Amino acid sequence: MVIKGALSEKRRSYRVHIEIPVTIDIIDEKTKGVLTKTFMIMDINTEGLYFVSDEPISLNRELNISFQLPKTSNPIRATLKVMRVENRESNYGIGGMFTNLTDNDKEAIKTLVERLNIHRLLELALSKNASDLHLVTGMPPVLRISGEIEISNLPSLDGDEIVNVLYSIMNKQQIKKFEQEKELDFGIQYDIQTRFRVNLHQQRGFTEATFRLINTKISSFEDLNIPSVIKELASLKDGLVLITGPTGSGKTTTIATMVEYINRQRKAMIITLERPIEYVFLNNKSIIKQREIGIDTTSFSIALKGTLRQDPNVIVIGELDDAETAKTALVAAEAGYLVIASFHSPNTVQAIDRLAGFFPTENRKQILSQLANCLRGVICQLLLPRNDKKGRILASEVLMVNEAVKKILRNDELTQLPSIIQTGASQKMHPMSESIGKYLEWGIIDGHTAGFYSDEFSKYK
């Protein structure tokens, strides 16, 4: 009940970002004449608004103002009492409280704020058990439920409205960075148990966004159906462990489960490099330092080099995305640290091939030799939609690095790896097709799903 109350209060006090002109009558204190000026509103709710002025306005001063909300025909006239004055870089931010606002005008503002209130949209996503919320120009909010896209029955949002929704939850630095780079990742805390990872991007000149639900409660290996062999990999003293799969395959969740397992099992210094931070850990037996790319440091490669001087036992890399990061990760794994890294790849063989592909061709043999020395295991993941529509279930492929695998890597004979995986059950390896086949046999997934995710079941398509 406390959380619900807090969320209700959050929605009531929510200020929506909106840039519209406001006309203000300012009485000159010397001449008593009225000077009419136009400023720009930056955010608003039913209690007041915030606008930018080229000159300061004294506190507690009452101003007669008028403005018009988007998609309305009648201007709003009200009295505003100045409650806050901020000295910005080149102007002043003025925050005021309405002291005279008609019920009709208040209702108009309330309607606008509610329409553009991100908490309403996130509540919808949670109530529908959606994994993702998409804000797409010219469409109602779109949900991904049990792996399937579903268009909500809410009104469509245009480009300006989406910008207003997004900028309402961003700070000045984030807005500035997005407008410069046209891409931005960050996280927002919805309530005690729930976070969302947010990606802002542009397409055809319009700003759009994807919100990915992150349950901050870290589940067990058994709850998530993660192969038990990952416990063994998490218990290693050193080496490189790759968690691979396409976007949205649960890689971050698996890594979080590994980190929490280490946290409960042994004393270690764990340093995570993330973009953005999704799961928040509490120190148990281990000390966990979480660094967010773009806030605590500028890039994975720079942060990783610094991490080596911070006395770590375990290094978690949210994404191996360039040669410099990959090179430093290999050095760290060879130097005696346990490095757990996420990597986008559809299977284990391509993961190794693409990792080596970061480097010039003439360095490939050297990189594969380094991998033979330090790679401990590769886990590839997929999330499959269940028949019962109760979410998705994790399918996996496991490669454990033994002497045969090391020889294959050194000789650059990666095409032999699938047969090693196929026959490596005694060392807890298994191919993706085996995992998918079990779910098909047990009736958890249907033939169409099996055929879609594995060529071995193409007859069911």
| Overall pTM surpassing 0.75 (yes/no) | no
Segment among 10-19, 109-118, 119-128, 340-349 with least mean pLDDT: 10-19
Is residue 441 pLDDT above 50, yes or no? Answer: yes
Question: To the nearest whole number, what is the mean pLDDT of the chain?
Answer: 91
Indicate where the chain has its CATH 3.40.50.300 domain(s).
221-430
Torsion of CA 12, 14, 19, 25, to 10 degrees: 60
**In this predicted model, what pLDDT tens digit does every residue of 396-415 receive, in sequence order?**
999 999 999 999 999 999 99
Enumerate residues 6+ apart whose C-beta is below 8 A from 139.
151, 156, 157
Helix (H) or strand (E) holding 2: helix 2-12
Give the pLDDT band of residue 148 (cuts 50, 70, 90). confident
Residue 4 has pLDDT above 70, yes or no: no
Angle separating helix axes 348-357 and 364-374, nearest 10 degrees: 130
Q: Is a pLDDT exceeding 90 seen at residue 290?
A: yes
Rounded to whole angstroms, what are the CA distances from 123 to 23, 96, 173? 36, 29, 27
Residue where the block lists tokens 């592909």: 357
Residues in the chain: 461
Average pLDDT over residues 368-373: 96
HEC string for 63-84 = EEEEECCCCCCCCEEEEEEEEE
What does the alpha-carbon distance between residue 219 and residue 253 come to, in Å, rounded to a whole number?
Answer: 9
Please calculate the CA angle 370-351-374 and round it to the nearest 5 degrees. 25
Q: Which of 214, 215, 293, 228 is nearest to 258 (CA)?
A: 228
Pairing state of beta strands 132-135 and 142-145? antiparallel
Name every residue whose Cβ is closer than 8 Å to that of residue 379 and which is 6 or more positions away in sequence. Answer: 227, 230, 233, 241, 242, 243, 244, 254, 348, 396, 397, 398, 399
Q: Over range 102-113, report the average pLDDT.
A: 94
What residue ranges of the chain are covered by domains with CATH 3.30.450.90? 116-215
**Which of the listed CATH numbers 3.30.70.141, 3.30.450.90, 1.10.3720.10, 3.30.1360.70 matches domain 116-215?**
3.30.450.90
Percent of the chain with pLDDT over 70: 96
**Residue 286 pLDDT grade (very low, low, confident, very high; cuts 50, 70, 90):** very high
Q: Assess whether pLDDT exceeds 60 at residue 198.
A: yes
Residues of the chain with CATH 2.40.10.220: 2-105
Decide if pLDDT at 12 tops 70: no
Q: How confident is the model at residue 429 (pLDDT cuts 50, 70, 90)?
A: very high
Question: Is the domain defined by 221-430 classed in CATH 3.40.50.300?
Answer: yes
Structure tokens at 201: 């991007």
Phi, psi (rounded to 5 degrees) for 107:
-65, -35
- Statement: residue 10 has pLDDT above 60: no
Token pair recorded at residue 338: 């346990």
Asked if residue 3 has pLDDT above 50, the reply is no
At residue 6, does pLDDT exceed 50? no
Distance CA 378, CA 356 (A): 14
Q: Which helix (H) or strand (E) holds 127?
A: helix 118-127
Q: For the segment 294-335, what is each residue's pLDDT rounded down to a tens digit? A: 888 888 889 999 999 999 999 999 989 889 999 999 999 999
Q: What tokens appear for 332 in the block?
A: 């760290």
Q: Which of 169-183, 249-263, 341-355, 447-461 has the lowest mean pLDDT?
A: 447-461
Q: Does domain 2-105 have CATH number 3.50.50.60?
A: no
Q: What is the pLDDT of residues 261-283, one digit of tens each?
A: 999 999 999 999 998 888 889 89
- C-alpha gyration radius of the chain: 27
Considering only 179-188, 217-226, 407-416, which range has the smallest mean pLDDT? 217-226
pLDDT at 461: 63
Residue 1 has pLDDT above 50, yes or no: no
